[in-house]
Chains A and B, each alone.
Chain A
Amino acid sequence: MTIGGWISMTVTLGFVLGLFSWCCYQMTSAPETPEELEEDAKNKPKE
């Protein structure tokens, strides 16, 4: 593999992985909406 190959692979993988990880982090760290909490409560088995 040439240096150009290493550069193109690293830049492309870095860009895709970076943006995807940022999106996942934002998605998982955001608080749930009242609608989602309501849905969770509905799906929880009754004790």
Chain B
Amino acid sequence: MTRDEHLNDHWGSRLGVVLAVSGSAVGLGNFIRFPGQAAMNGGGAFMIPYLISLLVVAIPISASEWAMGRYGGRRGFHSPLGIYYAAGQRRPICGLCGGMFTFTAYVIDMYYLFVEAWCLVYALQYLGGLLAHVGLGFSLFPEIESGLNLGSSEAYGKAFESVSGASGDGALFSKAGWPVLATLALCTFANFFLIYHGISRGIERFCKMVAPLIMLCSLIVLVRVFTLGNPTGEEGRSLLDGLGFMWNPGSVRETLSQPAVWLAAASQIFFSTSLCTSAVCTYTSYVRPKQDVALSSVTATMANEFCEVCLGGMMILPPAIMFLGAAAADQIGSSFSLGFIVLPNVFGKMPAGEFFGFVFFSLLFFAAITSSISQLQPAVAFLKEALGWGHKRSVLGCVVAVLVGSTCVCWFTENLTALDSFDFWSANFAPFLCAIVQTSIVAFIWGLNGLQKELDQGAIVKLPRFIGPFIKYVTLPYLAAIFAFWLWKNSADRVESLLASRSAQLSTFFLLLVLIAMFLTSLYAVRRWKREELLAAGQEGKSENNE
């Protein structure tokens, strides 16, 4: 792809951008994190704060982010650095904030590719088991049976330890760890291959191909879950018991009086929609100037909700309760243990479990890859805009940066310390902060009129006119309150884990270095743009004087 082609790169259709943005949001959080959070925080009663957060936080922020992205894209900016600079009316501080928030894109990719590799490893293990029926079976790990029929919960825990390297730092850099590293290399190559081919020829084509596959895989698993009946024949393990575990509301008043439940609901909505992680504003900067953003933003958010509530909410916990009973309840709090220990255990006990395990982990892999490419695009766009690099050079620069970070994550694997640190700072802390800064820029610098004008341009369905004041007077204070409470609740644990582990300290130090590098690069870019603007203004003045 040449430089000119990149500059003129746009989404080919409105369906393409909606699929890409919803693909960016749909990931492991929808299928694994949501059911656990809902069941642990009051079941059906949890859905009240959850839906309120959807209306108060997700839909307004999504609309403003889409509008901001297209506004920046029309001015030739495609990275958060440039988009914030444009929406901030060319104030350097806004550009610096945008540049520093691109940190999330780099860091999320550094560990998300690793998680993507686990999904592929599990899918391949199941495939090996399936092929064993025709004499072509294989296993990537000598000590783990292909098809993952391991029996006890402990054996599944041990298998996950082998794949993730959680037994100790550097465990993956041994003979036993090569399949995971090879799969990681394959995932990295696939991601950069798609990014290299650009928006319409790489990402859009891929998302149009993968979205139906995700739906198909989900439907296959969903139909299987709904036709299981009561597989063990024991009392309290029917489909309705499984659904009840997820949806029974318990005491609504008691649940709603707990601030922690509101926090969990807002966090779940916020993290699962991938808002304010640089991906959405970068993707939408490639939307054509007269293409709709108002309805598209709501559609992309609702597509994510459909996958989360209608698919994730219906197909994950019921089979866990049906096969494992109350024993599964202890492990649903952690996304990784639910996804990589409990569910393989369920597939091991399910008739034709190898096939459904293969389908499920393929689904997770496809969902993960659409999310990881969406984080790579802002990272590549950042290098292009900040340093003025060409497409090929920026992609290569991004490969090097991501590989350095991935090596750090793959080395400090004991109790998944590095992955946990990377996840906390890039996917939990930074997006909250970014949302507050972004909403403040929209409300106080860009202005509510600017936002409304941008949303109305090319709109298929115009959003209500109160959306701007709503963002300023409701969403922003709500976000600030949730963030303050979230910090209060999480900071003590974070400091404690930081002090306790040397790996956590080293990985946090690495992240600090990345942040400093992002700051200096952004500063260089913003100063260069200011200098160029002054020069252009000077030349204009000169030519006017000559005339």
How near does chain A come to B336, taking the closest CB pair, in angstroms? 26
Interface residues of A in 9-38 (CB under 8 A from B): 9, 11-13, 15-17, 19-20, 23-24, 26-27, 30, 33-36
Instruction: Answer whether residue B277 sits at the interface, using C-beta atoms and an 8 A cutoff.
Output: no
**In the complex, A24→B298 CA distance in Å?**
10
A20 engages B295 (CB within 8 Å): no
The 6 closest A-B pairs by CB, nearest first: A8-B44, A1-B244, A5-B248, A23-B299, A20-B302, A30-B460
Chain B residue numbers with a CB within 8 Å of A5 are 43-44, 243-244, 247-249
| Residues on A with beta carbons closer than 8 Å to the beta carbon of B296 | 27
- Beta-carbon contact of B310 and A16 below 8 Å: yes
List A contacts of B385 (CB < 8 A): none
- Would you call B167 an interface residue if the criterion is a C-beta within 8 Å of the partner chain's C-beta atoms? no
Taken together as a complex, chains A and B put the C-alpha atoms of A37 and B306 apart, in Å, by 29
List CB contacts (< 8 Å) of B302-316 with chain A.
302-303, 305-306, 309-310, 313
Q: Tell whether A33 pairs with B458 under 8 Å between CB atoms, given A16-B306, A19-B302, A24-B299.
A: yes
Minimum CB–CB distance for A43 against chain B, Å:
7
Q: A16-B306, A23-B299, A33-B290 are in contact. Are A2 and B51 (CB under 8 A)?
A: no
- Inter-chain CA distance A13–B13, complex, in Å, is 29
Describe A's contact surface by its main secondary structure: helix
Whether B13 lies near A39 (C-beta < 8 A) is yes
What's the Cα separation between A24 and B211 when bound, in Å? 15
Q: Does A4 contact B (CB under 8 A)?
A: yes
Contact B249 A17 (CB under 8 A): no
Contact bitstring B165-180, A, C-beta under 8 A = 1, else 0: 0000000000000000
Contacts of A27 in B (CB 8 A): 14-15, 18, 295-296, 299, 460
Q: Tell me the nearest residue of chain A to B304, going by C-beta.
A: A20
Residue of A nearest to B288 (CB): A35
Q: How many A-B residue pairs have CB under 8 A?
A: 95
Output the least CB separation between B3 and chain A (Å).
20
Looking at chain B's contact residues, is the secondary structure mostly helix, strand, loop, or mixed?
helix
Q: Contact check, A2 vs B244: say whether CB atoms are below 8 A apart.
A: yes
Query: Are A12 and B51 in touch, CB under 8 angstroms?
Result: yes
In this complex, the interface size class of chain A, counting residues with CB under 8 Å from chain B, is 20 to 34
Which residue of chain A lies nearest to B44 when distances are taken between CB atoms in the complex? A8
Q: Is there contact, CB below 8 Å, between B249 and A20?
A: no
Q: What are 25 A-B contacts with C-beta separation under 8 Å?
A: A1-B241, A1-B243, A1-B247, A2-B248, A4-B44, A5-B43, A5-B247, A8-B43, A8-B44, A8-B45, A9-B247, A12-B50, A13-B310, A16-B305, A16-B306, A20-B302, A23-B295, A23-B299, A26-B299, A26-B461, A33-B290, A33-B291, A33-B458, A35-B290, A39-B12
CB pair A20–B303 under 8 Å, yes or no, is yes
Measured in the bound complex, the distance between the Cα atoms of B239 and A1 in whole Å is: 9
Task: Give every chain B residue within 8 A of A20 (Cβ-Cβ).
Answer: 299, 302-303, 305-306
Interface status of B240 (Cβ within 8 A of chain A): yes
Task: Give 20 A-B pairs besides A8-B43, A9-B44 with Cβ atoms closer than 8 angstroms.
Answer: A1-B244, A1-B247, A2-B244, A4-B44, A5-B243, A5-B244, A5-B247, A6-B247, A9-B247, A12-B51, A12-B313, A16-B305, A20-B306, A26-B460, A27-B15, A27-B460, A30-B295, A30-B460, A33-B291, A36-B14
- Taken together as a complex, chains A and B put the C-alpha atoms of A36 and B429 apart, in Å, by 38
B299-355 interface with A by 8 A CB criterion: 299, 302-303, 305-306, 309-310, 313
